[in-house]
Structure 1
Amino acid sequence: MSAPAAPDGAGEKLDSGVLKVAGVVVLGAIMAILDTTVVNVALQKLTIQFGTSFDTIQWVATGYMLALATVIPITGWAAEAFGTKRLYLIAIGTFLAGSMLAGMAWNVESLIVFRVLQGLGGGMLMPAGMTILTRAAGPQRIGRVMSVLGVPMLLGPICGPILGGWLVDSVSWRWIFYINVPIGLIAFVFALRVLPKDRPERTGRFDFPGLLMVSPGLAALIFGVSRIPSTGTVASVQVWLPALAGIVLLVGFVLRAARIDNPLIDLKLFRNRSFSTAMITMTVFCIGFFGAMLLLPTYFTLVRGESALNAGLLLAPQGLGAMLTMPIAGRLADRIAIRRIVLPGMLLLVLGMVVFTQVGADTPYALLMAAMFVMGLGMGATMMPITSAALQTLRSRDMAKASTATNILQQTAGAIGSAAMSIVLAALLAGKFGVPTSQGQLAATAATLNPATHEAASGLTADAFASTFVWGLVALALCLIPAFFLPKKRIVPTAETGEDVAPPVPMH
């Protein structure tokens, strides 16, 4: 009989076995998350390389995102049916194949197809990896393992533009895909050796009708939302028709899932108050934060005239701030009430965002970088503790389904937030330059590049960014409301939550 854990969570350090599993999972997460951002800085280069339009080349990013949305719902069922280790190896192999083929692409059509293949592998990596890691560590250490898994989730959007800008400028656009190959091979070999073997669990009948609702529904909704920046209006048939179709399919799935056994996504998880509160907080947070963060590199390149590489480097203070608070927040999440960590983190985010609502064409870089550092401190104390609050009260057998639901909400909310901020910015720019909404950013770019109009155009463009950041500030402030209802006391794993926790990870 094992000794009980200390009341404050002491003595529950991550052993070397869990740390090895975490290392493998982080490698996979780095690949998947980097590839959602590293391509963005190369789109202009790819447009010239393949002699195509920007609308067409956008599918290199959109196709990857839609593939992620399509495959994530299947991951929870597949983890139970085939075992998480086997599924993780399949995900890495699929991602590697897509990366290699994308680097060898001979035209824009082949590149889009191979990016979709890459996305199918990438969509399985995060939820499968999260399931493996949380099962290995057990509920009493979820806060710490979430802080480990949060490193690539925070640094990916920062390092992606830096790495992508350098590879495109100094090496070749093909290496934004080839760079995944050595990382993926290392991750595959270590996954074979390190990840604990698990046996497939008996699952109910596969919810194929649910798959036909939720995967196309998510893809259609995200596609419709992603078309807002290019069309310039939500009234465009390219926006409202797929978005409406997606919403109808998702509502149909929810109504059906509430009446059947073993649905593709287990909605019974939301009966858990801690889980549902954390998911509401996470959704509002992703809409506000990731939507606003999308604007930062554009501000630096459009208003301040920085290169893609320099714009990426200027985002580094945010990552540094997050790296300082994330390990501390992870340890505290297993010892004290989650709310006592998240609320101060949210206040730091709001404080940092206030600076950007006042941004101008000549705002000192020192002030902007200090604000990003403060936001990074808040980010490190927010995102992973929220996820910990969602998972701490669940049984090990529910981790796969919970990880799937978490990743779906993050992807969808992030896409909605990015599109919403893009359309607000485009509309404001259009108003200032007297052009249609869809032409707002093009007009601002042309005016800022013209020496005769540069000074006036930079001021007008900076004003548009400042007003857009106000919307991000409002969303982050609203996030404080659900965050207030996060657990008030430290969650102690009970027999119900910990009864089927996986045994300790074997040493290798």
Structure 2
Amino acid sequence: MTRTEAIPAAVWRLAVVLAFGGVMAGLDTSVVNVGLDVTGRDLDASLASVQWVQSGYLLALAAALPVCGWISRRVGAGRLWLWSLAAFTGTSALCALAPGIGWLIAFRVLQGVAGGLLVPSGMTVLGQAAGPGRMGRVVATTSVPAILAPAVGPVVGALLISEPSWHWLFLVNVPAGVLGLVVGLRTVPRGGTTGAGRLDGPGLALVAVVLPLLTYAITEAAASRTLLAPSVAPPLAGGVPPLLAFVRRSLRSAAPLLDLRLFRNRGYAAASFEVLFNGAALFGGLIVMPLYFQLQRRAGIVETGLLLTAFSLGAAATFPVAGRLADRHGGGIVTLAVLVVTTLSTVALALSPADVDVVTVELLMVARGIGLALSGMPAVSAAFATVSARQLPDATSQITILSRVGGAIGGAVFVVILTGALPAGVAAAFRLTFWSLTAATLAALGAPPGSCANSAGRH
């Protein structure tokens, strides 16, 4: 057993300020979705065009993530966080003022770039301030509002759409962003530079091609309900070769855009594996569960958002506990609890009859939130505990990318499974999808727990 280190009050104050970025980015992943139809009608745009308001944001976010580590080393993580928050706030206002669909998509792309830099730079600032022995508790506690934000997003979006207009989907970010900047300028340490060297331009070009193409391929696969659709093959074929080239370059370059050599550390690689599949189970579940409530239980948008808060409340209540366990014992000790809680709750959803009462469903959602919180936080803490301060910007970028990619892949695959099984009946389709969620959860637990735990405990 390792004695936990006390966390200074200054670190907690810093963590609260940095939580602004997580809340804003979390809300923006879901609050806009409920307003796409209204936005399209108001701007006289087709659904095919208006969906790029969200897709463009996600693609830009994915493309911006890899460069975050280099910029953090170049200008300081705190300074980058402040710049990103200012850019996110400004582009939110521009989105609200967009005169047409083309301008709105363009501003959302810029907002996605800012969002892609905002979260990992904030994690780097926290990691540098807290240190590995306190990272789990600090990140766990400050992740609570960020975890709640995507589930609250549909409710907020529905309320904004039902009364004012789609412009408020973006204007809602402005006061929060301004407040975060005012406090952040006085609180957030700018961070020192650590000799970033020259930017790996070819590596950036490769990853800027890879992530959007593969993300787009996954999006098209989900939209067309098959991985064999004509719209899937071109981006998939275009994304794989540069992916292989990027990996080769990263392993051979003295100053790569992302230091993939970190994966030679067994503890880091195992924890990253868990983060990838935990992202699939977590974010994929956040896509499936709204569909379950709307298609199976005939819930409206606001009711669906309220029902989803049970999952987030379970995760939020457990995150601080998971962080303390990760700091004191490492990631491996919670594996058995994760296996029991998450698997049993997901299997129970798979076996539930179509008319199961809502209280039972909500209790199972709370249990899934508890299980996935216990799984995700120790994995992230274990990954960060295996790297040096010099490697932390790379690690935070990579962990964020893996979580997002896992969520994108998981969401797309689960939607493909669900829609493919719908001809057999809604209840049967969701039963099969919940079994798939169970498989993703078990895959997240497939990394050798001892390697994570031991690595976390040594640093």
User: Shorter-chain-normalised TM-score: which range?
Assistant: over 0.9
| C-alpha deviation, 1:355, in angstroms | 2.1
> Is the Cα contact below 8 Å between 1:284 and 1:413 reproduced in 2?
yes
| C-alpha deviation, 1:21, in angstroms | 1.2
1:288-299 pair list within 5 angstroms: 288-299=281-292
Pairing partner for 1:8 from 2, 14, 21: 2
1:62-461 pair list within 5 angstroms: 62-429=55-422, 431-432=423-424, 460-461=425-426
> Is the Cα contact below 8 Å between 1:342 and 1:386 reproduced in 2?
no
| C-alpha deviation, 1:152, in angstroms | 3.5
Determine helix, strand or coil for the equivalent of 1:199. coil
> Is the Cα contact below 8 Å between 2:210 and 2:242 reproduced in 1?
yes
Amino acid at match of 1:129: G
**How far, CA to CA, are the matches of 2:275 and 2:213 in structure 1?**
22
- The corresponding residue for 1:3 is none
- The corresponding residue for 1:468 is 433
Determine helix, strand or coil for the equivalent of 1:198. coil
| C-alpha deviation, 1:103, in angstroms | 1.2
Amino acid at match of 2:449: F
For residues 175 and 343 of structure 1, do their structure 2 counterparts lie closer, same or farther at Cα, with a shift above 3 Å needed?
farther
After superposition, give the CA deviation of every residue in 1:468-498 in whole Å (9 maximum; x if it has no partner): 111111121222221534434484455xxxx
Amino acid at match of 1:247: V
> Is the Cα contact below 8 Å between 2:315 and 2:372 reproduced in 1?
yes
After superposition, give the CA deviation of every residue in 1:434-489 in whole Å (9 maximum; x if it has no partner): xxxxxxxxxxxxxxxxxxxxxxxxxx222212221111111212222215344344
- RMSD (Å), alpha carbons: 1.7
**How far, CA to CA, are the matches of 1:19 and 1:268 in structure 2?**
32
| C-alpha deviation, 1:120, in angstroms | 0.8
After superposition, give the CA deviation of every residue in 1:11-45 in whole Å (9 maximum; x if it has no partner): x2221110111012111111112101111121222
Determine helix, strand or coil for the equivalent of 2:390. helix
> Is the Cα contact below 8 Å between 1:334 and 1:490 reproduced in 2?
no
> Is the Cα contact below 8 Å between 1:68 and 1:122 reproduced in 2?
yes
> Is the Cα contact below 8 Å between 2:383 and 2:456 reproduced in 1?
no
For residues 280 and 398 of structure 1, do their structure 2 counterparts lie closer, same or farther at Cα, with a shift above 3 Å needed?
same
> Is the Cα contact below 8 Å between 2:386 and 2:455 reproduced in 1?
no
- Structure number with greater Rg is 1
**How far, CA to CA, are the matches of 1:160 and 1:72 in structure 2?**
23
After superposition, give the CA deviation of every residue in 1:296-351 in whole Å (9 maximum; x if it has no partner): 11121222221101100011111221122111111121111311124312431111
The size of the alignment, in residue pairs, is: 459
> Is the Cα contact below 8 Å between 2:22 and 2:143 reproduced in 1?
no
| C-alpha deviation, 1:360, in angstroms | 4.2
Consecutive unaligned residues of structure 1, counting only runs of 5 or more, are: 1-6, 433-459, 495-508
For residues 483 and 44 of structure 1, do their structure 2 counterparts lie closer, same or farther at Cα, with a shift above 3 Å needed?
farther
**How far, CA to CA, are the matches of 1:8 and 1:258 in structure 2?**
35
Amino acid at match of 2:3: G
| C-alpha deviation, 1:61, in angstroms | 0.9
**How far, CA to CA, are the matches of 1:280 and 1:102 in structure 2?**
36
Amino acid at match of 1:279: S
Consecutive unaligned residues of structure 2, counting only runs of 5 or more, are: none
Pairing partner for 2:16 from 13, 18, 23: 23
Amino acid at match of 1:162: V
Pairing partner for 1:39 from 24, 32, 44: 32
> Is the Cα contact below 8 Å between 1:359 and 1:465 reproduced in 2?
no
After superposition, give the CA deviation of every residue in 1:361-402 in whole Å (9 maximum; x if it has no partner): 422101100100111111221211110010112111111010
- The corresponding residue for 1:441 is none
- Pick which of 416-425 and 473-482 moved more: 473-482
**How far, CA to CA, are the matches of 1:330 and 1:481 in structure 2?**
20
> Is the Cα contact below 8 Å between 2:381 and 2:456 reproduced in 1?
no
- The corresponding residue for 1:505 is none
| C-alpha deviation, 1:126, in angstroms | 0.7
Determine helix, strand or coil for the equivalent of 1:202. coil
- The corresponding residue for 2:452 is 487
> Is the Cα contact below 8 Å between 1:360 and 1:463 reproduced in 2?
no
Determine helix, strand or coil for the equivalent of 1:482. coil
After superposition, give the CA deviation of every residue in 1:186-241 in whole Å (9 maximum; x if it has no partner): 11112111012322221222100000101221111001111112222222232121
> TM-score of the superposition, structure 2-length normalised?
0.96
Structure showing the higher helix proportion among its residues: 2
After superposition, give the CA deviation of every residue in 1:75-108 in whole Å (9 maximum; x if it has no partner): 0000001111221111011111111011112222
For residues 188 and 486 of structure 1, do their structure 2 counterparts lie closer, same or farther at Cα, with a shift above 3 Å needed?
same
> Is the Cα contact below 8 Å between 1:289 and 1:472 reproduced in 2?
no
> TM-score of the superposition, structure 1-length normalised?
0.87
> Is the Cα contact below 8 Å between 2:91 and 2:110 reproduced in 1?
yes
> Is the Cα contact below 8 Å between 1:336 and 1:490 reproduced in 2?
no
For residues 483 and 169 of structure 1, do their structure 2 counterparts lie closer, same or farther at Cα, with a shift above 3 Å needed?
farther
| C-alpha deviation, 1:288, in angstroms | 2.9
> Is the Cα contact below 8 Å between 1:286 and 1:413 reproduced in 2?
yes
